[in-house]
Chains A and B, each alone.
Chain A
Amino acid sequence: MTSKILRVDMNELKVSCEEVPERWRNLGGRALTSTIVAEEVPPTCHPLGPRNKLVFASGIVTGTSAPTSGRISVGGKSPLTGGIKEANAGTSFAQKLARAGIKAIIVQGMSKDKYYLLNIAKGKRDLIEATPWCGRGLYEAFAQLREKFGKDVAICATGIAGELSGAAAGVAFNDIEGLSSRYAGRGGLGAVMATRGLKFIVVDDEGGPGVEIKDKELFKKGTKKLTDALTTHGVTKPGGTLNTYGTDALINVINEAGALPHRNFSSGYDELAPLVGGEKKAETIKKRGGERPHMCSPGCIIQCSEVWVKEGGKDPVGVLEYESVWALGPNCGIYNLDDVGELNRACNDLGVDTIEMGDTIAVAMEGGLAKFGDGKKALELMEEIRKGTPLGRILANGTEFTGKALGVTRIPTVKGQGIPAYDPRPIKGIGVTYATTPMGADHTAGYAIAPEILGVGGKVDPLDTKKADLSRGLQQATAFIDTSGYCLFIAFAVMDIPEGLEGAVESCNAVLGTKWTVNDAVALGAKVLDIERNFNKAAGLTRAHDRIPEFMKLEPLPPKNVVYDVTDAELDKVYPN
């Protein structure tokens, strides 16, 4: 095994290479970041203080030719939730890091006063002063860094919001055009990065050892099974819905189901939603000469991504994901894709998570700082972050902080993290995931929407309140996928085509030399969740934190006029211990 652990000590400004300990050998992605955080970070530490660490790890198969596998996990203690955090992104950074022979980067300590750039290139692991690129938007900074280090390098960054220690700050990565549009957004890890004094990581994998594959025959067999599943399933195949319309195709289906949160979770349906739906967006991109379909990282065969551009094909933003369009659009009463595009650009530029920022702006609107629907004013609010004003600092700290500052009681968060684009009142199972995942409100942690609304991976009644088993099973499978390096979107195909899942597990076995069955893979996911929950318990999170916000139990959501009525006992059944 050639790959190494890179330890970056920001107190001493020293970078060292360590052998991978035996117990970490067969881990990658989320399993590795959560294991390292649990072993090395005191659960009660201040997330922005000297004892927190930031960990990066590519997935098990990332950096190989396995399809749709360019994922990187970022972990640490979250300033937003107070618990453990894993956020992941699809980016060539993940693949280049793996091919450069680095299994994980552990960033620890805090530099005294300056920001640094970690430059990983052939034979180099240097910390360079990054002050010239501080206080700048990330679109400009990424362009300058590519100018300086080469067009083919991959970049990771924290933005201005991170420099302000904002708990809404994400960790930004490059897309294939080199734009700062791919985010391990959730949980405020951008602030953890900035408080270490680390501003950027630049990776060039040229001359790197690559990713060793222990059993090449099995790798071929496994990846073929997965590829066959992905190219057959209606959601993931070329010309399928993800490829044609992107994730934003969900706007209309979730709106029709009465579960798309509008105007800070005050309604689940609005006639205007199609104006920002995937159908409208795909048509607009085509007219303007943007790109669709597109891949976030090389080697993706689903290609759900895109490049949104202004009128005349100008000023590319990158992808406008469903979650981002919803958060910055309908959730703020905004039904104009150009406004949403500019708000998404501001998020990518300032280094904030789009979901957290959309929830934050909606709460700020409810608190009287702007009118719902006022896209220009929403953009002005975001500019407060760029200016570093006291208001900007409040907004950069996310939904709950902003709600408290403004005396708003309808604050859509779980464990302090903003709720994503599915109101749980008419879709009970996703609420069970929001409440119980160790991550705080996170739809990706156990995507119950697939069987509850989309009829993918089975069919269950969204209004049925017995969803503990469903959510637990999904959370375990997801923790494995987040470990494997495959994009979570392979799940749509492999939940329906079992050979695809077998193939994904086989490809991991081929890389590691393990003999996992599908059940072993799910058991590994369960173990990761145990590690994460134990960290959270030691950090002081209790069952009282595994709850949906009170207003959702009291205020019926129109038009279905239902409240969240899953019992506490059912929520506690997800993790009985």
Chain B
Amino acid sequence: MKVRVKMFANLQEISGTSEVFLDAETVLSALDQLVRMFEGLKPEIFEDYERKQLMARIKIMVNGTSIDYIDGLKTVLREGDRVAVFPILAGG
């Protein structure tokens, strides 16, 4: 499935880009490819890469819905999905 992965805040600075297009069946596969493309993102996204454990505060949305309310890292992606990855942030 061709999907669009968007990165924000310091993730943009680390990767030097704001989005990439990937072929991925699940969110985990998309993130896996992302951190292999940009090694510097690994410690920002994964607390424990081997165990595929995400950083506590990293936020991942698929088409605007947090994966916490879909199927976590196992969330299945469809053609044209938009995956957004944010570090912890807030404002007001």
Could you name 20 residue pairs across A and B whose Cβ atoms are closer than 8 Å?
A234-B88, A241-B89, A242-B89, A245-B9, A245-B89, A246-B91, A250-B90, A250-B91, A250-B92, A252-B84, A253-B89, A256-B84, A258-B64, A304-B91, A322-B92, A323-B92, A426-B64, A456-B57, A461-B68, A488-B92
Cβ-defined contact, B92 with A241, below 8 A:
no
Q: Is B42 interfacial (CB-CB < 8 Å)?
A: no
Known: A256-B61, A278-B9. 5 other contacts (CB 8 A): A247-B91, A248-B91, A453-B66, A454-B88, A454-B89
Cβ-defined contact, B91 with A444, below 8 A:
no
Cβ-defined contact, A235 with B90, below 8 A:
yes
Cβ-defined contact, A447 with B92, below 8 A:
yes
- Which A residues are within 8 Å of any B CB, using their own CB? 234-235, 241-242, 244-250, 252-253, 256-258, 268-269, 274, 277-279, 304, 322-323, 426, 443-444, 447, 450, 453-456, 459, 461-463, 488-489, 492, 559-560
Q: A244-B9, A278-B9, A279-B9 are in contact. Are A253 and B59 (CB under 8 A)?
A: yes
Cβ-defined contact, A249 with B69, below 8 A:
no
Closest beta carbon of chain B to A301's beta carbon, Å? 16
Contact check: which of B57, B61, B82 meets A234 at CB < 8 Å? B57
Cβ-defined contact, A234 with B87, below 8 A:
yes
Contact check: which of A244, A277, A450, A461 meets B10 at CB < 8 Å? A244
Nearest first, the 7 A-B pairs at minimum CB distance are A247-B91, A241-B89, A258-B64, A250-B91, A234-B88, A256-B84, A235-B90
Cβ-defined contact, B89 with A249, below 8 A:
yes
Q: Is B46 interfacial (CB-CB < 8 Å)?
A: no
Q: A249-B9, A274-B18, A560-B64 are in contact. Are A454 and B92 (CB under 8 A)?
A: no
Q: How far is the CA of A256 from the CA of B69 in the complex (A)?
A: 15
Closest beta carbon of chain B to A378's beta carbon, Å? 23
Specify which chain A residues have a CB less than 8 angstroms from the CB of B88 in the assembled complex. 234-235, 241, 454-456
Q: How far is the CA of A242 from the CA of B90 in the complex (A)?
A: 7
Q: For window 23-58 of chain B, which residues contact chain A by CB distance below 8 Å?
A: 57
Specify which chain B residues have a CB less than 8 angstroms from the CB of A278 in the assembled complex. 9, 91
Specify which chain A residues have a CB less than 8 angstroms from the CB of B89 in the assembled complex. 235, 241-242, 245, 249-250, 253, 454
Q: From B88, which residue of chain A is reached at the shortest CB distance?
A: A234
Cβ-defined contact, A253 with B86, below 8 A:
yes
Q: From A248, which residue of chain B is reached at the shortest CB distance?
A: B91
Q: From B86, which residue of chain A is reached at the shortest CB distance?
A: A253
Q: From A259, which residue of chain B is reached at the shortest CB distance?
A: B64
Q: How far is the CA of A450 from the CA of B89 in the complex (A)?
A: 9
Cβ-defined contact, A454 with B64, below 8 A:
no
Cβ-defined contact, B90 with A257, below 8 A:
no
Cβ-defined contact, A241 with B9, below 8 A:
yes
Q: How far is the CA of A231 from the CA of B63 in the complex (A)?
A: 33
Closest beta carbon of chain B to A355's beta carbon, Å? 12
Specify which chain B residues have a CB less than 8 angstroms from the CB of A248 in the assembled complex. 91
Cβ-defined contact, B57 with A455, below 8 A:
yes
Q: How far is the CA of A249 from the CA of B7 in the complex (A)?
A: 12
Closest beta carbon of chain B to A7's beta carbon, Å? 33
Q: For window 58-85 of chain B, which residues contact chain A by CB distance below 8 Å?
A: 59, 61, 63-64, 66, 68-69, 82, 84
Cβ-defined contact, A279 with B12, below 8 A:
yes
Cβ-defined contact, B69 with A461, below 8 A:
yes
Closest beta carbon of chain A to B34's beta carbon, Å? 16
Contact check: which of B6, B64, B68, B92 meets A489 at CB < 8 Å? B92
Cβ-defined contact, B64 with A269, below 8 A:
yes
Closest beta carbon of chain A to B37's beta carbon, Å? 19
Closest beta carbon of chain B to A237's beta carbon, Å? 10
Q: A249-B91, A443-B92, A454-B90 are in contact. Are A256 and B57 (CB under 8 A)?
A: no
Contact check: which of B64, B82, B87 meets A241 at CB < 8 Å? B87
Which residue among B61, B64, B69, B84 has the maximum number of chain A CB atoms within 10 Å of its CB? B64
Q: How far is the CA of A53 from the CA of B9 in the complex (A)?
A: 44
Specify which chain B residues have a CB less than 8 angstroms from the CB of A279 in the assembled complex. 8-9, 12, 18
Q: How far is the CA of A564 from the CA of B18 in the complex (A)?
A: 32
Q: How far is the CA of A249 from the CA of B13 in the complex (A)?
A: 14
Q: How far is the CA of A234 from the CA of B61 in the complex (A)?
A: 20
Cβ-defined contact, A455 with B9, below 8 A:
no
Q: How far is the CA of A447 from the CA of B10 in the complex (A)?
A: 24
Cβ-defined contact, A492 with B90, below 8 A:
yes
Which residue among B9, B84, B91 has the maximum number of chain A CB atoms within 10 Å of its CB? B91
Specify which chain A residues have a CB less than 8 angstroms from the CB of B66 in the assembled complex. 453, 462
Specify which chain A residues have a CB less than 8 angstroms from the CB of B6 in the assembled complex. 256
Q: How far is the CA of A322 from the CA of B90 in the complex (A)?
A: 10
Q: How far is the CA of A441 from the CA of B18 in the complex (A)?
A: 33
Closest beta carbon of chain A to B81's beta carbon, Å? 12
Closest beta carbon of chain B to A380's beta carbon, Å? 30
Cβ-defined contact, B91 with A252, below 8 A:
no
Q: From B12, which residue of chain A is reached at the shortest CB distance?
A: A279
Specify which chain A residues have a CB less than 8 angstroms from the CB of B57 in the assembled complex. 234, 455-456
Q: A234-B57, A256-B6, A279-B9 are in contact. Are A247 and B92 (CB under 8 A)?
A: yes
Closest beta carbon of chain A to B3's beta carbon, Å? 14
Q: How far is the CA of A304 from the CA of B88 in the complex (A)?
A: 15
Q: How far is the CA of A277 from the CA of B8 in the complex (A)?
A: 10
Closest beta carbon of chain B to A363's beta carbon, Å? 23
Closest beta carbon of chain B to A325's beta carbon, Å? 10
Closest beta carbon of chain A to B18's beta carbon, Å? 7
